[in-house]
């Protein structure tokens, strides 16, 4: 268990009263390392567009889950919050199974993977978030920000939402908003994870796919038997987004072509998957190695959406 700054119970209670402004509504544990956290802010639900994000926080004084990497306790951190940005997610379906757009969701939902160890520095927030239960208190930022939204999408455009892991979070709200608004273009979500059990929203997406002809949900895995065992039934090898799109498999399985003239692609998740180019002093864009989705799609005629040059290839800039 990680060390934490030592505070008395009374001091910790006072700090919670001072800093915390939201209550855990409920927790959906997908498995031991993946959960959906639903939160009731004291001031009510903030207005946000699907794809935007806010900040969650807990005090350094809070316990971390057992097995977390050892943290060095620093006295100056004893009364501070550990904070991190998280995109809003959305359940997409209400308790009755009806489509639930983000604007009608009565709680703030976040999709969180447990990080217990890091090559850079010991993770501080998720080992604490995984200690929370319904009724517990925490900090939620009152500022909502981000430009990774559906604002540039026209009603008839095709929309492709590609993600790794919990990068799928903002795409849940985007899909619910598009379907609730009667979007006439095609919509496809494709998410790459290690194991199928890491797809927390697969059931809801599957239900929506069965109801809406213009919506497709596609899942890629990298560590299931069919990915790593050549003798397994249906062996396909490891399937990564870059190869999936470059090979044409996405278009075959989604059922529509990647036409830059009428398609917007949204990318969220591992920065290596996104592969945003680095602009050199000479003004040239240099792609990272190994290649990411940006290089794959720019080779297909897509263009990064920038403030001074609108495009059809979108990814969040807070990495």
Bridge-based pairing of strands 108-113 and 313-315 is unpaired
Which tops the pLDDT comparison, 278 or 37? Answer: 37
Please tell me the predicted confidence (pLDDT) of residue 83.
95
Contact (CB, 8 A) for 83 and 113:
no
Name the E strands within the chain: 22-31, 34-41, 53-59, 81-87, 108-113, 137-140, 158-164, 187-193, 215-221, 263-268, 278-279, 285-286, 313-315
Q: 78: which residues sit within 8 A by CB, 6+ positions away?
A: 5, 6, 7, 60, 61
Q: Measuring CA to CA, which residue among 205, 219, 242, 123 is closest to residue 165?
A: 219
pLDDT digits (tens, 9 = 90+) for 74-112: 777 889 999 999 999 999 999 999 999 999 999 999 999
Report percent pLDDT > 70 for the chain. 95
Contact (CB, 8 A) for 149 and 52:
yes
Q: Is 114 helix (H, G, I), strand (E, B) or coil?
A: coil
Which tops the pLDDT comparison, 281 or 300? Answer: 300
Confidence of residue 294 (pLDDT cuts 50, 70, 90): very high
d(CA 295, CA 269): 16
Which tops the pLDDT comparison, 76 or 262? Answer: 262
Report which secondary-structure segment, H or E, holds 129: helix 126-129
Separation of CA 28 from chain center: 16
The answer, yes or no, to whether residue 2 has pLDDT greater than 50, is no
Confidence of residue 1 (pLDDT cuts 50, 70, 90): very low
Residue-range domains of the chain with CATH: 9-140 (2.40.30.10), 158-315 (3.40.50.80)
pLDDT digits (tens, 9 = 90+) for 183-232: 999 999 999 999 999 999 999 999 999 999 999 999 999 999 999 999 99
- Cis amide bond preceding 290, omega within 30: yes
Report which secondary-structure segment, H or E, holds 18: helix 9-19
The answer, yes or no, to whether residue 261 has pLDDT greater than 80, is yes
User: What Cα–Cα distance (Å) separates residue 141 from each residue in 18, 20, 58, 63, 179?
Assistant: 14, 10, 11, 21, 28
Provide the 10 A C-beta neighbour count for residue 43: 9
pLDDT digits (tens, 9 = 90+) for 104-156: 999 999 999 999 777 666 788 999 999 999 999 999 999 999 999 999 999 99
pTM of the shown model: 0.94
The answer, yes or no, to whether residue 43 has pLDDT greater than 80, is yes
pLDDT digits (tens, 9 = 90+) for 55-76: 999 999 999 998 887 666 677 7
What's the chain's average pLDDT? 93
Contact (CB, 8 A) for 26 and 38:
yes
d(CA 201, CA 217): 10
């Amino acid at each position: 268990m990680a060390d934490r700054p030592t505070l008395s119970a009374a001091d910790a209670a006072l700090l919670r009263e001072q800093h915390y402004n939201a209550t855990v509504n409920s927790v959906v544990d997908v498995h031991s390392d993946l959960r959906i956290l639903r939160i009731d802010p004291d001031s009510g639900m903030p207005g946000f567009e699907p794809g935007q994000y806010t900040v969650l926080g807990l005090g350094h004084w809070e316990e971390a889950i057992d097995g977390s990497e050892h943290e060095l306790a620093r006295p100056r951190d004893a009364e501070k919050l550990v904070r991190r940005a998280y995109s809003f997610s959305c359940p997409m379906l209400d308790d009755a199974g009806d489509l639930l757009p983000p604007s009608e969701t009565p709680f703030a939902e976040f999709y969180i993977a447990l990080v217990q160890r890091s090559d850079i520095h010991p993770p501080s927030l998720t080992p604490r978030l995984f200690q929370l239960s319904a009724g517990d208190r925490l900090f939620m930022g009152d500022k909502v920000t981000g430009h990774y939204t559906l604002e540039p999408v026209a009603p008839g455009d095709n929309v492709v939402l590609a993600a790794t892991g919990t990068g799928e979070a903002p795409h849940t709200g985007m899909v619910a908003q598009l379907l609730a608004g009667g979007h006439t273009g095609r919509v496809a979500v494709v998410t790459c994870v290690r194991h199928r059990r890491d797809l927390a929203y697969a059931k809801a997406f599957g239900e929506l796919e069965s109801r809406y002809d213009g919506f497709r949900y596609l899942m890629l895995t990298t560590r299931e038997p069919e990915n790593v065992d050549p003798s397994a039934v249906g062996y396909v090898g490891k399937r990564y987004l870059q190869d999936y799109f470059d090979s044409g498999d996405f278009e075959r399985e989604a059922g529509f072509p990647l036409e830059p003239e009428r398609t917007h692609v949204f990318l969220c998740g591992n920065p290596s998957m996104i592969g945003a180019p680095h602009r050199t002093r000479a003004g040239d864009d240099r792609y990272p190695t190994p290649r990411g989705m940006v290089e794959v799609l720019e080779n297909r005629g897509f263009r990064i959406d920038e403030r001074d040059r609108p495009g059809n290839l979108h990814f969040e800039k807070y990495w």
